[in-house]
């Protein structure tokens, strides 16, 4: 797919549903008694993988363009699947469902695409094994495919070496089936959608500092969930509005959970002109509209506790930093190496191809902004966040940019290119 420089971007964007919350709505609704109704569900490939897996586990799920209806069977209502559960490209599906399957009374084989088969699963195998789970990496490399033989689990206090909402959620979900309370303590707080939503379904979840604790065997009941717009998807239009001259974009219905809003804080620190409008809260999740205007951006240092709140947005931040004056340093972001691609290497290699002054470090990158970018051939590595970040970068670069594997955006934002096209003036 080809992209060229544009003069300005103007208009209004309604952001599709949050990917993290859409996944969890299906999973938790399946474990609840009664029907859960979900609106603004993200119809991306990853979330459809979650639906497919729970259908194979015996849950009736009605999927229409207006809403999802999940007919839950309670905490112990899942049934043994007749074949392998295919999680596609979804790390969230793979890691979270593992916690649920560890507490079942049957054996499951879990597998995904080539990317999933390289992503680290030891981070969940270790705590689940400590809880008494029988979980095996079938290739012996701590990656999928995984065989999970469900059984009686024990509640434990787990100290996670990484700040990862996927690891935390996996352990808490296994804790639903344990014989005593289960807690997870992180080095810094990761996104808390699991804690908020499980509490809404009726689980007893407590949070204190960077520790979340769950009581076993709750009575979960179906509920209505309106999924807020995904701030990770909004980030591309936020950056575009700030970077591209003479631009003004209204981004509607954006989730601004404080464990996810690091992109907003960084963009404002860089000098971004961002106005927050129409703030409200739904199901414990705060949302708003964002009015974004072209800005003179400056370099900043990004690291420490803010990193887990913007880890998925770092590729876009790196591109945005090329359009800022001065040096931007991104550190403490080792987690980028184990995403859909090694996002440190992928971002640095592709930005260098466009003429950026950028260097990789062990835990991030250093970008000297203010140098013009030019078109290049960009390898997305079939990583949706790389494809979308460089599509935005190309709008401010001289010449023509070709993105290989651009169709991978269907993972999280199937209508991304059509939405972007409507803003181009």
CA distance 182 to 215: 7
- DSSP result, 40-84: S---SHHHHHHHHHHHHTT-EEEE-SS-EEEEEE-TT-----SS-
Q: Is 252 annotated as a binding residue?
A: no
Under 8 Å between Cβ of 166 and 133: no
- Dihedral through CA 253, CA 95, CA 127, CA 164, nearest 10? -40
Q: Is 402 annotated as a binding residue?
A: no
Does 380 belong to an annotated binding site?
no
Report which of 325, 330, 291 is spatially closest to residue 314, judged by C-alpha positions. Answer: 330
Ligand-binding annotation for 95, yes or no, is no
Q: How far apart are CA 272 and CA 265, in angstroms?
A: 9
Q: Which helix (H) or strand (E) holds 365?
A: strand 364-369
164 belongs to an annotated ligand binding site:
yes
By CB atoms closer than 10 A (0-12, 13-18, 19+), residue 209 is exposed
Residue 62 C-alpha from the chain's centroid: 24
Catalytic residue among 312, 345, 363, 383: 312
Q: Are 338 and 120 in contact (CB under 8 A)?
A: yes
Closest CA to 334 of 302, 371, 307: 307
Is residue 55 annotated as involved in ligand binding?
A: no
Q: Which of 171, 172, 128 is nearest to 147 (CA)?
A: 128
Q: Is 343 annotated as a binding residue?
A: yes
Q: How many CA atoms lie within 13 A of 129 on its CB side?
A: 12
d(Cα 214, Cα 198) in Å, to the nearest integer? Answer: 9
Q: Is 265 annotated as a binding residue?
A: no
Residue 115 is labelled as binding a ligand: no
Distance CA 367, CA 210 (A): 31
Q: Three-state DSSP class for 225?
A: strand
The answer to whether the CB of 369 falls within 8 A of the CB of 317 is: no
For the question of residue 312 being annotated catalytic, the response is yes
Q: Residue 298 contacts by C-beta under 8 Å, 6 or more apart in sequence?
A: 270, 271, 324, 325, 326
What residues act catalytically? Answer: 312
**Residue numbers belonging to the annotated binding site:** 19-20, 24, 91, 119, 164, 166, 312, 339, 343, 385
**Residue numbers belonging to the annotated binding site for 3-phosphoshikimate:** 19-20, 24, 164, 166, 312, 339
């Amino acid at each position: 797919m080809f992209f060229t420089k544009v003069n300005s971007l103007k208009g209004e964007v309604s952001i599709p549903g949050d990917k993290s919350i859409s996944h969890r709505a299906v999973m938790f609704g399946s474990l609840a008694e009664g029907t859960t109704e979900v609106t603004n569900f993200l119809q991306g490939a990853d979330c459809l993988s979650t639906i497919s897996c729970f259908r194979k586990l015996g849950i009736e799920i009605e999927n229409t363009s207006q809403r999802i209806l999940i007919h839950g069977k309670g905490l112990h209502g899942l049934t043994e699947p007749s074949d392998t559960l295919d999680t596609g490209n979804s790390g969230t599906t793979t890691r979270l469902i593992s916690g649920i399957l560890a507490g079942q009374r049957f054996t499951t084989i879990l597998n995904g695409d080539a990317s999933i088969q390289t992503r680290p699963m030891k981070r969940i195998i270790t705590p689940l094994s400590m809880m008494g789970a029988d979980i095996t990496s079938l290739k012996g490399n701590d990656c999928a495919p995984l065989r999970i033989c469900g059984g009686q689990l024990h509640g434990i206090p787990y100290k996670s070496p990484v700040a990862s909402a996927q690891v935390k959620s996996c352990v808490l979900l296994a804790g639903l089936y344990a014989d005593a309370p289960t807690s997870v303590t992180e080095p810094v707080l990761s996104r808390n959608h699991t804690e908020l939503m499980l509490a809404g379904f009726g689980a007893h979840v407590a949070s204190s500092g960077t520790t979340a604790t769950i009581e076993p065997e709750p009575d979960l009941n179906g509920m209505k969930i309106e999924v807020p717009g995904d701030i990770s998807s909004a980030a591309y239009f936020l950056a575009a509005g700030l970077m591209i001259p003479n631009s003004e974009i209204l981004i509607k219905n954006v989730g601004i959970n404080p464990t996810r809003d690091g992109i907003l804080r960084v963009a404002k620190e860089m000098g971004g002109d961002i106005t927050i409008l129409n703030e409200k809260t739904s199901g414990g999740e705060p949302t708003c509209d964002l009015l974004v205007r072209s800005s003179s951006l400056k370099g900043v240092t990004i690291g420490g506790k803010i990193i887990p709140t913007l880890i998925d947005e770092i590729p876009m931040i790196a591109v945005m930093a090329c359009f800022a004056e001065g040096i931007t340093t991104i550190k403490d972001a080792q987690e980028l190496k184990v995403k859909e691609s090694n996002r440190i290497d992928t971002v640095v290699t592709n930005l260098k191809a466009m003429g950026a002054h950028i260097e990789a470090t062990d835990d991030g990158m250093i970008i000297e902004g203010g140098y013009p970018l030019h078109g290049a051939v960009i390898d997305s590595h079939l990583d949706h966040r790389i494809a979308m970040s460089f599509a935005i970068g190309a709008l401010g670069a001289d010449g023509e940019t070709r993105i290989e594997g651009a169709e991978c955006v269907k993972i999280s934002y199937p209508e991304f290119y059509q939405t972007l096209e409507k803003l181009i003036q």
